[in-house]
Amino acid sequence: MNLPPPRRENDSTPAGVTPLAAGDPRVVGALRIIGRLGTGGMGTVYAALDDHDRRVALKRVHPMYAADEDFRIRFAREVKLVRRIRVPGVPRFLDADTRADVPWLATEYVPGPTLEAHVRAAGPLTGIAPADFARVTAEALAAIHAAGVVHRDLKPGNVILSPDGPKVLDFGIARAAEETALTRTGGLVGTPGWIAPEQYRGLSATDRSDMFAWACLVVFAATGRGPFGVGTADVVAGRILSAPPSLEGVPDALRPLLAHALDKDPGRRPTAAETVGALPVAVTPWAGAFLPENTDPEAWLRVAPPRRPWRRRHGRVLTLAAVGTALAVAAGAGSTLLPLDDTPPPSHGGEVPPSDGGDAPATDTAALAEVPEEYHDLYENGTVVIEPASDTEPVVVRSLVAPEGREAVEQLRVTFTGSSQHSGTLRVDVRVEYLPDFGSLRLHSQDFAWVQAIEPDHEYLDLRRSTSPGVLAELDPEDPTEEFSVTFFGSPPGVVYYLPEAALDENRRAPLDQPGGFCHGSPGPGNHDPYPGHPDLGRHDATPTDGVPVNSCAYVV
């Protein structure tokens, strides 16, 4: 990606941002554009502010891709995958529109120089910074690969050295653009010097191709040069295909791992997850301590276009009939969509009373919701789905999915952060994050469930609902996060779920292989593979094997 030129003395544009060019947008979706951050082969990145005046990096693809329907399909597929990636080494995904005239996606803005710019201006990383850089970027790749994404364009210009640590950029569009370019030209897509040997031989990029590029990146961070030197694209390609890498100047502790990742045979390279396990854990936080000049949010506000009213940005309010249908989707979950205006929601005075169906709380159907017009059909006819969202953390995402599966809105991210037990009572600590920029969601104690045991002759889970009373959280875009605890009567081993009634079948049941559950209990024969940092929470897989869920920590043998 091309970096912005130095800021001129009389330029009111904030540091690190260049003025907009003729034809550049001033508003995209709900985002207000203030300038450019850079331009690359696939699109232009703009500096923008969201409704809450948070700084955003917005990437719009080039018109040549916007006019290609196949690209749009591929881009939508990639966005669906990358929106779930949440690790420190990746900018947080915020929003996207794959059906806009010019498709775009937005992430949090990350201040700081790229690795390429830093090395050019100040030289390679020193001290323990190369090891920290290697670990954080490997963790980012592990999360990207776990989501089913291959980066395909990992290079020094696509890593930001932020004050909080390295951030890997520019994944999500790369695969869609690569497949489109290959369809048109049949040529190789990538940046010379950062392309794995198998790609030069005509094979598709895989996660192991990313690991080759990762090793080149770490060598560059530690030495200021790539492991195959400099020269024309043909010369560097020849060295990548046949010459051994140069690791001179690389810290001794990193050399064996980098040599392994630079193997000419992709099958012999480690995965990103294996690499993370082989790297030392940082004794101190990110050692770079970079302090970029463009850290003043007020400078962005001074040049931003005025904020537009919510109704202009998101369309009209639903009719009463449509709202009633939309609320019915969430009724069994005790989740209410509330209006985002100055009218306070009705007070429930504590615990929500149970509905006629039993222990599920009733929904306050008097509340109206503002839902973007493009989501009307989804909110009328969609289905609530709960799915695991990470291989490294006990996290699930609640989505509203269209009947044909063509469209979805992620509504809630639920992270189980810890657990404890005392006198036959289990307590699970939970952090929740509301994801849309409209409406709101109410979480009730009955949205959480515990399974003490899975009986072999049963077809459905024996769900025990939480004993925590009443409403646990009310979330909206202004107040999107909350932390709380839920309690259950029971003792480990067992499985804890976020499982609102709207995610159950018509008889309020969940199958034995219901996804999204997490084992509670000390690691042992019945509770394999605890999550890092969560010794009492482990992976749970109740998928039957020969009719028996052999990896279920709650299955009764």
Taken in order of first residue, the domains within the chain and their CATH numbers are 27-292 (1.10.510.10), 318-539 (no CATH)
Round to whole Å and give the CA distance between 68 and 247.
42
Cα distances from 317 to residues 311, 335, 382, 385, 531, in angstroms, run 7, 19, 19, 25, 43
Q: Which residues of the chain have pLDDT under 50?
A: 1-10, 182-186, 309-369, 523-527
Cα dihedral: 304, 310, 315, 320 (round 10): 180
**What residue type is assigned to position 428 of the chain?**
V
What pLDDT score was predicted for residue 240?
95
- Produce one character per residue of 8-34: b if its CB has 16 or more CB atoms within 10 Å, e if not: eeeeebbebbbebeeeebeebbbbbbb
The answer to whether 268 and 221 have CB atoms below 8 angstroms apart is no
Backbone angles phi, psi at 402, to 5 degrees: -65, 155
Q: What is the number of other CB atoms lying within 10 angstroms of the CB of residue 289?
A: 10
CA 108 to chain centroid: 11
In the block, tokens 């390295």 appear at 166
**What residue type is assigned to position 87 of the chain?**
V
What pLDDT score was predicted for residue 141?
94
What pLDDT score was predicted for residue 346?
31
Round to whole Å and give the CA distance between 369 and 538.
37
Backbone angles phi, psi at 91, to 5 degrees: -55, 140
What pLDDT score was predicted for residue 222?
96
End-to-end CA distance of the chain, in Å?
57
Q: Which helix (H) or strand (E) holds 410?
A: strand 408-422
Round to whole Å and give the CA distance between 554 and 495.
7
Which burial class, exposed, middle or buried, applies to 506 when counting CB atoms under 10 A from its CB (0-12, 13-18, 19+)? exposed
Q: What is the pLDDT of residues 287-312, one digit of tens each?
A: 555 655 556 668 888 888 876 543 34
What pLDDT score was predicted for residue 502?
86
Range list of H helices, 189-253: 197-200, 207-223, 233-242
Q: Which residues contact 390 (CB under 8 A, 6 or more apart)?
A: 84, 86, 143, 146
Q: How many Cα atoms are found within 13 Å in the side-chain-facing hemisphere of 27?
A: 10
Peptide bond into 493 cis (omega under 30): yes
Structure-block tokens of residue 446: 């009955």
Range list of H helices, 346-470: 376-381
What pLDDT score was predicted for residue 525?
46
What pLDDT score was predicted for residue 172?
52
Strands (E), 90-243: 93-97, 104-108, 159-162, 165-168
Round to whole Å and give the CA distance between 192 and 239.
11
Strand, coil or helix: what is 281? coil
Residues belonging to the active site: 153
